[in-house]
Amino acid sequence: MGFLAPWALAGIAAVGLPVWLHLLRKHKTTPLPFASLMFFERRTQSSIKHRRLQYLLLLALRAAVIALLAFAFARPFLQSRLAALAGGPKLTVLAIDNSFSMRDDDRLARAKREAAQVASTLRDQDKLEVLAFGSQVHVMGDSPAAIQTIEPTDTRSSYAELSRALRSIAQTGAQAARMPVEAHLFSDMQKSSLPANFADLRLGDGTRLVAHPVADRRAANFAVESVNAPRRVYGSGKARVEATIAGYGTEQAKRRVSLMLNGRELDSKTLDVPAGGRAVAEFLPADLPFGLNRGEIRIDSADNLPDDDRFYFSVERAEARRVLFVHEARNQRDALYFRTALEAAAESAYALDAVAVEQSANLDPHKYAFVVLSDVGTLPASFETALRDYVRAGGSLLVALGRESALRSRVPVFDEAVVEARYYGRDGALFQTAAWLDAGHPSIHNAQRWDDVKFYQAVRVNPGAARVAARLGDDTPLLLEKQVGEGRVLVFASTFDNISNDFPLHASFVPFIEHTANYLARQEEGPSNYLVGSYLELRQAKEQGAAVEVLDPKGARALTLDEATRAQNMPLAMAGFYDVKRPNGRHELVAVNADRHESDLDVISADTLALWQNTAQGQQNATAGGEAETPKPMEFWWYVLIAVLGLAVAESLLGNRHLTVDQAP
Amino acid sequence: MLQRFLDPATLASISGLDLVAKTVVDGFIAGLHRSPDYGFSQEFAEYRAYTPGDDLRRIDWNVFARSERLYLKRYRGETNTQLLILLDASASMSFGSHAVNKLDYARFLAASLCYLAHAQRDAAGLIVFAEDVQNYVAPSARQGQLFRLLHAIEKAQPGIRTDFAKPFVHFLDFTRRRGLVVVISDYYERPETIVKTVEPLRFRGNEVILFHVLDPQEIAPQFREPVLLTDMETSGTLEVSPEYARGEYRHRIDSHIQALRDQAKGAGLDYFLMDTGRPLDEGLREYLGVRQGRM
């Protein structure tokens, strides 16, 4: 309870007035001489005492009226949620850690048992909310039976994030308007799940947190911490697989490490893992088959948490991807420079097919990783149409503009107008340099290395809806990108032939070609492996495109038909391999692993846990008087005024009986 | 008869009891009382025709010589009545709720009676008493008696308390002749005790008149709130509520007055209640009217 105008309580001092009138003033009455008390009797004292009692009642009524009046003017209020904590209905939130580490021993079972015990103590008017949290928070239900529906096979939650769980509890509490929240957290309280800042564990006002640790000590655990393997191996190249084995709270031990490929053990090694340390095993599988391969590193840990004893990775052996390079027949230099740069950088990842524009009429661009149009003038209509279809379906196109292409009114497929061809001259300082570069663009790896590149000629293109990644000194767009359908088109406003610029002679040319090729061929997109609970991007454009086909590790379709055509991304719910077939026909194998933060089963110390709870409690108290989080105070001054009115009526009746002036007989 | 009701407060403003008494009494009829017998007084009263058996010595022979008829000459008989005033000067008599307290009122009354007696040439005496006899002026009709009486009345000071028994033993010694005994008091005593004490005076052939002097506040107290009362004689205190004073007390004082009146009447005593809030001459007139009616 509090007061909105506490200064009004000073009015209670006015209670002294009736006290003075009734007690002090009366006692000062001077005795009145009378001829004889012969006809007065001692028993009249009782009448006086009775009168005094009535006067005391009158005094009490008057004092109460004044005190309550001052009390009402002080505008008392009740913190309804805090007040309700004692006896009113409350919302009990049972948040159960369902992360990867809870599979150790019987932690999850113990958490569920303790949660069931808490649920059994609830009263009829209390509400219940059962949450399961890991990297995600899932509402399981609002009945005690929901506790039992939390299964360890639910692999959607790998890494327990306490802060996320508490945020969800706070949101649940905020939705429970005017109802106190009692949150019970059942978790193994891993150190790794604790955020760096206790402030992230802030609870809402009126929420009381009770922590139920289900793990008392640190359990020893071996895990495959990470695997470093190439996503693709081209031609006859060899794949080098490096696995890091970590021991968390373990003694020094020997562990056998195996390399599995497509379910078959290819190689194994025995490692000496130091106490609480790491050891690295290296494999060079010789007979890596062509195509997508399901790789796996396993150890024989013999601990209680076997799920982190394996690590999935995918590796693809493929032929070098073909790149179609279309150029004017009389210009061979640009193909030479481009091929040289491509072969130097990408280690046989790409094979360039240089074709004169006149021979391109019957070419099918779909079999190429990407297509380059190097300063071409007129394209055969059939090829241009095929090229446009190819890009819309997800293909990529690089257009270099020079003298020939400047004659066109529009850039092919890019569909933006060519404004003019600009000649800067080779003499003196007439050339232009790249004045502005977008370092965030995948093609421009290191902007500083473009500083010395001289541009003597450039074709100015209206950017339109395209993204400008680089500009020359005269503000002419040098590199533009535009999304067309599912595909992407890059326009380089100069050539690769060492005539319009000296770019091919600079060290930055090879990285530029390499990054651009990988970007256009979508070779580097996405991480090499994913964590359970993360999201896989399915398509770039927001427009509805062709269906994406995804098979989960169990071989079932992960998406419905509608999701396959509309979804921008999808959650990776379990560890294993996801088979993804994209609309452009590309086939990917996505390896998904549990978060290795969960492998360290070290628990939060009791002191830290107490400190955390105190911090949360202190925050709760601190925000109790806050503005945004504070529930509306329930004022009840009008009830006090009603009481004052009732007392005033009683005072009038009582006072009227005894304070009337005696009438003369 | 001249009606001059004099307010006690007005009388109190008059200095000197003689003037007070004169002012009060002058408005009355000249005689206080007449002798029940026609005697040898020098004051002529009337002539009456002679009837056989009348004393021949009372025949007015001068009238017979002039008219040859026998008439008896009758004179107003000169009285030998003795007035003795008993004035209560106890502490309770000093109570008063207005300008004139009971003792002052009693003084006025006593002075007026003395003045009347003096005018009648009666012998008048005074006993001032409270717990004991404070002052005594032997009855006499001599020259200067009035001033001695008025002086004694003037000197009367409130004593401590009233004790009827003790002073009345002395009264019996003092009153050797028959006469008129006037007792002026507030009579805060049981009526039986008062009557029993005063009765012997009556037995000796005295006319006894009881003047009961009470303040209006004693007859009908007006308290607006509970008051702490102090007894003026015993100094005892008592807290009294207005309800009690309005109800029970009045019933008791009325009963007391009525009992005193009844028992006085039964014992052949005259009783008059003198409210100090009423004009003194009004009370006296009422008394004299009763006296004359009796004669």
Q: Round to whole Å and give the CA distance between A330 and A497.
A: 12
Q: Round to whole Å and give the CA distance between B295 and B286.
A: 15
Mean pLDDT of chain A: 80
Instruction: Flag whether pLDDT at A542 surpasses 60.
Output: no
Residue A646's pLDDT is: 93
**Among A278, A284, A259, which residue's Cα sits nearest to residue A269?**
A259
Structure tokens at A362: 């019957």
Instruction: Flag whether pLDDT at A469 surpasses 60.
Output: yes
Average pLDDT over residues B15-32: 57
Conformation bin of residue B31: beta by default, left when phi > 0, alpha when psi is -120 to 50: beta
Which of A49-58, A67-76, A615-624, B172-181 holds the top average pLDDT? Answer: A67-76
For helices B102-120 and B145-155, the axis angle rounded to 10 degrees is 170
Q: Which of B238, B249, B250, B256 to mutate to test the interface with A (most CBs of A within 10 A)?
A: B238
Closest CA in chain B for residue A27: B228
User: Cα dihedral sign for B68, B72, B76, B77?
Assistant: positive
Q: Token pair 């001068």 is at which residue?
A: B62
Please list the residues that pair with A490 across neighbouring strands.
Answer: A398, A481
Average pLDDT over residues A400-423: 88
> What's the pLDDT band for A619 if we cut at 50, 70, 90?
very low
Distance between A652 CA and the closest CA of chain B, angstroms? 18
Mean pLDDT of chain B: 78
Q: Are A309 and A224 in contact (CB under 8 A)?
A: yes
Does residue A631 fall inside a structural domain? no
Q: Are A286 and A240 in contact (CB under 8 A)?
A: no
Q: Round to whole Å and give the CA distance between A91 and A195.
A: 26
Structure tokens at A408: 């066109």
Same domain, A48 and A22: yes
CB–CB contact B231 A34 (8 Å)? yes
Does residue A370 fall inside a structural domain? yes
Q: Are B134 and B79 in contact (CB under 8 A)?
A: no
Same domain, A129 and A264: no
Q: In chain A, what residues touch B223 (CB-CB under 8 Å)? A: 662
Same domain, A364 and A467: yes
Same domain, A379 and A453: yes
Count Cβ–Cβ pairs < 8 Å, chain A vs chain B.
80
CB–CB contact B222 A664 (8 Å)? yes
Instruction: Flag whether pLDDT at A174 surpasses 90.
Output: no
Q: Are B113 and B16 in contact (CB under 8 A)?
A: no
**Among B24, B11, B16, which residue's Cα sits nearest to residue B112?**
B24
The more confidently predicted of residues A28 and A284 is A284
Does residue A36 fall inside a structural domain? no
Closest CA in chain B for residue A40: B249
* Predicted TM-score of the model (pTM): 0.48
Same domain, A294 and A386: no
Instruction: Flag whether pLDDT at A254 surpasses 90.
Output: no
Assess A143–B contact: CB distance below 8 Å, yes or no.
no
Distance between A23 CA and the closest CA of chain B, angstroms? 13
Residue A473's pLDDT is: 87
Instruction: Flag whether pLDDT at A118 surpasses 90.
Output: no
What chain B holds in terms of domains, given with CATH numbers, is 8-33+80-294 (3.40.50.410), 44-75 (no CATH)
CB–CB contact B230 A32 (8 Å)? yes
Instruction: Flag whether pLDDT at A488 surpasses 80.
Output: yes
| Interstrand relation of B227-231 and A487-492 (parallel, antiparallel or unpaired) | unpaired
> What's the pLDDT band for B118 if we cut at 50, 70, 90?
confident
Q: Are B91 and B101 in contact (CB under 8 A)?
A: no
Average pLDDT over residues A105-127: 84
Q: Round to whole Å and give the CA distance between B28 and B290.
A: 14
Same domain, A293 and A150: no
CB–CB contact A35 B238 (8 Å)? no
Does residue A35 fall inside a structural domain? no
Same domain, A557 and A469: no
Domain harbouring A281, CATH code: 2.60.40.10
Same domain, A93 and A188: yes
Q: Are A267 and A293 in contact (CB under 8 A)?
A: no
At A547-590, the pLDDT tens digits run 888 888 888 888 888 888 878 788 887 888 998 887 767 788 88
**Among A494, A498, A447, which residue's Cα sits nearest to residue A469?**
A447
CA distances to A167, A190, A573, A591, A594 from A534, rounded to whole Å, are: 19, 21, 8, 12, 10
CA distances to A121, A222, A256, A286, A445 from A267, rounded to whole Å, are: 56, 20, 11, 10, 37
Residue A198's pLDDT is: 65
Reduce the secondary structure of A464-480 to three states and give it as a string: CCCEEEEEECCCCEEEE
Instruction: Flag whether pLDDT at A477 surpasses 80.
Output: yes
Distance between B189 CA and the closest CA of chain A, angstroms? 8
Which amino acid is present at A629?
E
Contact residues for B110 (Cβ-Cβ < 8 A; gap 6+):
B85, B87, B126, B149, B153, B182, B184
Q: Which value, to the nearest 10 degrees, does the dihedral of the CA atoms of residues A226, A231, A232, A238 take?
A: 0
Closest CA in chain A for residue B187: A36
Instruction: Flag whether pLDDT at B182 surpasses 50.
Output: yes
> What's the pLDDT band for A490 if we cut at 50, 70, 90?
very high
Assess B212–A contact: CB distance below 8 Å, yes or no.
no
Q: In chain B, what residues touch A661 (CB-CB under 8 Å)? A: 224
Residue A587's pLDDT is: 81
Q: Token pair 């053990």 is at which residue?
A: A265
- Each residue of B169-205: b (16+ CB within 10 Å) or e? eebeeebeeebbbbbbbbbbbebeebbebbbebbeee
% of chain A residues with pLDDT over 70? 83
Closest CA in chain A for residue B220: A665
Residue A373's pLDDT is: 92
- Greatest distance between any 2 Cα atoms in chain A: 151
Listed residues A261, A284, A318: the one ending a domain: A318
Distance between B98 CA and the closest CA of chain A, angstroms? 13
Residue A326's pLDDT is: 92
> What's the pLDDT band for A603 if we cut at 50, 70, 90?
confident
Instruction: Flag whether pLDDT at A109 surpasses 70.
Output: yes
Does residue A386 fall inside a structural domain? yes
At A134-165, the pLDDT tens digits run 777 778 888 888 888 877 655 545 666 677 77
Residue B30's pLDDT is: 42
CB–CB contact B229 A31 (8 Å)? yes
| Interstrand relation of A181-187 and A207-213 (parallel, antiparallel or unpaired) | parallel
Q: Tell me which residue in A29, A35, A47 faces B218 most closely, judged by beta carbons.
A: A35
Q: How far is CA A429 from the centre of its chain?
A: 51
CB–CB contact A44 B223 (8 Å)? no
Q: In chain B, what residues touch A37 (CB-CB under 8 Å)? A: 229, 231, 234, 236, 238
Instruction: Flag whether pLDDT at A215 surpasses 70.
Output: yes
The more confidently predicted of residues B155 and B10 is B155
Q: Round to whole Å and give the CA distance between A352 and A97.
A: 54
Same domain, A118 and A198: yes
Instruction: Flag whether pLDDT at B226 surpasses 50.
Output: yes
Residue B294's pLDDT is: 46
The more confidently predicted of residues A437 and A177 is A437
User: Phi and psi (nearest 5°) for A280?
Assistant: -115, 135
Assess A23–B contact: CB distance below 8 Å, yes or no.
no
Q: Tell me which residue in A39, A48, A662 faces B222 most closely, judged by beta carbons.
A: A662
Assess B238–A contact: CB distance below 8 Å, yes or no.
yes
CB–CB contact A36 B236 (8 Å)? no
Structure tokens at B204: 């000796």
Give the three-class secondary structure for A268.
strand
Closest CA in chain B for residue A28: B228
Instruction: Flag whether pLDDT at B43 surpasses 90.
Output: no
Distance between B104 CA and the closest CA of chain A, angstroms? 14
Distance between A657 CA and the closest CA of chain B, angstroms? 12
Does residue A630 fall inside a structural domain? no
Does residue A265 fall inside a structural domain? yes
Q: Find the helix or strand (DSSP H, E) in which A459 lies.
A: strand A457-461
CB–CB contact A32 B228 (8 Å)? yes
Assess B242–A contact: CB distance below 8 Å, yes or no.
yes
Same domain, A330 and A352: yes
Closest CA in chain B for residue A47: B241
Please list the residues that pair with A234 across neighbouring strands.
Answer: A318
Same domain, A352 and A260: no
Same domain, A406 and A363: yes
| ipTM of predicted assembly, 2 dp | 0.78
Residue A372's pLDDT is: 93
Instruction: Flag whether pLDDT at B41 surpasses 50.
Output: no
**Among B203, B200, B205, B187, which residue's Cα sits nearest to residue B261?**
B187
At B229-280, the pLDDT tens digits run 888 888 888 888 788 888 888 999 999 999 999 999 888 888 888 888 888 7
Does residue A547 fall inside a structural domain? yes
Q: Token pair 């990867």 is at which residue?
A: A100
Domain containing residue A640 = 2-30+42-78+636-658
CB–CB contact A33 B230 (8 Å)? yes
Domain harbouring A356, CATH code: 3.40.50.880
Number of domains in chain A: 5
Assess A7–B contact: CB distance below 8 Å, yes or no.
no
Listed residues A302, A318, A334: the one ending a domain: A318
> What's the pLDDT band for A401 if we cut at 50, 70, 90?
very high
Assess A30–B contact: CB distance below 8 Å, yes or no.
yes
Residue B261's pLDDT is: 92
Structure tokens at B233: 């004689």
Instruction: Flag whether pLDDT at A480 surpasses 90.
Output: yes
Q: Are A299 and A516 in contact (CB under 8 A)?
A: no
CB–CB contact B256 A39 (8 Å)? yes
Q: In chain A, what residues touch B93 (CB-CB under 8 Å)? A: 35
Assess B70–A contact: CB distance below 8 Å, yes or no.
no
Q: How far apart are the first and last CA of chain A?
A: 56
Average pLDDT over residues A535-542: 71
Distance between B224 CA and the closest CA of chain A, angstroms? 6
Instruction: Flag whether pLDDT at A63 surpasses 70.
Output: yes
Q: Tell me which residue in A34, A45, A664 faces B229 most closely, judged by beta carbons.
A: A34
